[in-house]
């Protein structure tokens, strides 16, 4: 089942503590959105005048869709900033005409820019009157409707959500043992979902980084063990000339630390270059920004890894007996 126009009316009149109830449909037009040779992949939103209040987003230039526009099915549009840029319209595009599908629409407003979220533009959309969108896209008979609304008191959010859920189940005649054929989401639940996803990504990245550090540390340890073996005679000569155990120990620890720091710096450089490449290749991808403290921290942590995994080969070198070391070929 789908949400119906009657569901909107029932929610308006039966649920207390809500306002700015507005339907949304997302019509698709095969011919796309064009301004001469320029086009955009902006999402078309067919809605009512309450959309700007529910979304708390208002025009920078011109006006928003009005009830009169909706009632008369006018061919008017309000653009998001990214859609304006893609269509190469002037800074104030009010009064310009664009093609939506095969129909000409007059631009009556430009919305305030909202920037990006998670690397995606929040301004890549175009708003047209609700009834206009239904009639032009052939959705009037069976529109796939979403409903946007605001809760008057944030403390009552859970209660309102539960009441809407119960009302829609009753209207759709869903039995107690049957699942919902709709979904009720709040900005709070979306924020929690984003938080869970972010936490999962953080754990996965931390695990990958941890494994990488262990693998890198083991690699440094193996290199240093090979170095100790190849330089056994050199160590024996140094000890025979009076070099103390601590000197040999520090020498190999410093070598391991330097090796790890160089690896860390190479890693930072590769990460920056990959970020720059991604920003160049992916639209709206944020450019790389590596603060100085992150570079210092990476080098410091690399040095610590080098010291930890350099202890074994350094101890092996420091504990070599001079006579045995000098006999080594």
Identity of the highest mean pLDDT range in 112-121, 236-245, 281-290? 236-245
Band of residue 110 on the pLDDT scale cut at 50, 70, 90 = very high
Q: Are residues 72 and 199 in the same domain?
A: no
Q: Are residues 234 and 309 in the same domain?
A: yes
Compute, in degrees rounded to 10, the torsion defined by CA atoms 97, 98, 100, 104: 30
CA-based nearest residue to 238, from 259, 246, 313, 315: 246
Close Cβ partners of 309 (under 8 Å, ≥ 6 residues apart): 217, 218, 220, 221, 224, 256, 260
pLDDT at 194 over 90: no
Average pLDDT (219-236) is: 88
**Of 104-113, 146-155, 178-187, which gets the smallest average pLDDT?**
178-187
CA dihedral over 232, 237, 238, 244, signed as positive or negative:
positive
Mean pLDDT over 145-169 rounds to 86
Domain tally for the chain? Answer: 2
Q: Which of 130, 151, 172 is the last residue of a domain?
A: 151
Mean pLDDT in residue range 277-292 = 75
Calculate the dihedral angle through the C-alpha atoms of 315, 321, 325, 328, rounding to the nearest 10 degrees.
-110
Together in a domain, 194 and 323: yes
The pairing of strands 120-121 and 116-117 is antiparallel
Same domain, 194 and 322: yes
pLDDT band of residue 283 (cuts 50, 70, 90) is low
What confidence score (pLDDT) does residue 63 get? 95
Residues 63, 143, single domain; the answer is yes
Name which residue leads in pLDDT, 95 or 180.
95
Residue 3 lies in a domain: no
State the residue range of the domain holding 264: 190-327
Does 119 have pLDDT greater than 80?
A: no
- Same domain for 218 and 317: yes
Contact criterion met (CB below 8 Å) for 87 and 40: yes
Concatenated DSSP letters of 48-93 = -TTHHHHHT--EEEE----HHHHHHT--EEEE-HHHHHHTT--SS-
- Per-residue pLDDT at 285: 67
State mean pLDDT over 87-116: 92
Say whether both 205 and 293 belong to one domain: yes
Whether residue 264 is contained in a domain is answered as yes
pLDDT of amino acid 268: 85
Do the domain assignments include residue 108?
yes
Q: Are residues 234 and 322 in the same domain?
A: yes
- CA torsion angle 284 285 286 287 (round to 10): -110
Angstrom distance (rounded) from CA 174 to CA 222: 65
For residues 268 and 298, the answer to whether their CB atoms sit within 8 Å is yes
Is the domain of 32 the same as that of 147?
yes
Which residue, of 124, 151, 178, is where some domain finishes? Answer: 151
For the segment 94-106, the average pLDDT, to the nearest whole number, is: 92
Determine the pLDDT at residue 150: 87
Same domain, 197 and 320: yes
6 part of a folded domain = no
- The pLDDT of residue 141 is 54
The answer to the question of residue 304 being in a domain is yes
H and E: helices and strands count for the chain:
11, 12
pLDDT above 70 covers a percentage of the chain that reads 95
172 assigned to some structural domain: no
More confident: 50 or 279: 50
Q: Say if 177 falls within a structural domain.
A: no
Q: Which residue has the higher pLDDT, 31 or 207?
A: 207
Task: Quote the mean pLDDT of the chain.
Answer: 86
Domain identity same for 145 and 41: yes
Asked whether the predicted pLDDT for residue 16 surpasses 80, the reply is yes
pLDDT at 28 over 60: yes
Which of 131, 151, 171 delimits the end of a domain? 151
Those residues whose C-beta lies under 8 Å from the C-beta of residue 271, and which sit 6 or more positions away, are 288, 290
Asked if the structure places residue 163 within a domain, the reply is no
Rounded distance between C-alpha atoms, residue 186 and residue 154, angstroms = 11
Q: Are residues 211 and 275 in the same domain?
A: yes
Q: How far apart are CA 286 and CA 264, in angstroms?
A: 23
């Amino acid at each position: 089942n789908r949400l119906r126009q009657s569901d909107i009316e029932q929610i308006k009149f039966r649920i207390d503590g809500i306002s700015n109830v507005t339907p949304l449909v997302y019509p698709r037009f095969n011919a796309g959105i064009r301004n001469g040779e320029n086009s955009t992949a902006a999402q078309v939103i067919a809605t009512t005048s309450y959309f700007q209040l529910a979304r708390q987003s208002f025009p920078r230039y011109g006006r928003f869709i009005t009830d009169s526009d909706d009632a008369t099915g006018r061919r008017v549009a309000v653009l998001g900033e990214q859609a304006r840029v893609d269509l190469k319209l002037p800074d104030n595009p009010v009064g310009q005409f664009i093609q939506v599908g095969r129909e000409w629409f007059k631009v009556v407003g430009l919305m305030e820019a909202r920037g990006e979220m998670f690397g995606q533009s929040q301004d890549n959309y175009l708003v047209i009157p609700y009834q206009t969108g239904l009639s032009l896209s052939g959705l009037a008979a069976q529109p796939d409707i979403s409903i946007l609304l605001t809760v008057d008191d944030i403390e009552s959010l859970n209660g309102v959500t539960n009441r809407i859920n119960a009302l829609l189940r009753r209207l759709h005649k869903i039995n107690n043992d049957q699942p919902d054929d709709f979904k009720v989401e709040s900005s709070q639940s979306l924020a929690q979902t984003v938080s869970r996803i972010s936490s999962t990504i953080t754990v996965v990245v931390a695990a990958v980084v941890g494994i990488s550090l262990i693998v890198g540390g083991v690699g440094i340890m193996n290199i240093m063990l090979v170095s100790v073996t190849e330089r056994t005679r050199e160590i024996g000569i140094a000890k025979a000339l009076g070099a103390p155990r601590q000197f040999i120990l520090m020498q190999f620890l410093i070598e391991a630390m330097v090796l790890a720091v160089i690896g860390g710096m190479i890693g930072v450089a590769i990460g920056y270059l990959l970020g720059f490449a991604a920003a160049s290749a992916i639209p709206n991808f944020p450019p790389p920004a590596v603060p100085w403290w992150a570079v210092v921290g990476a080098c410091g942590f690399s040095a610590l890894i080098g010291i930890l995994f350099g202890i074994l080969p350094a101890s092996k070198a420091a504990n070599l007996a001079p006579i045995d070391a000098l006999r080594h070929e």
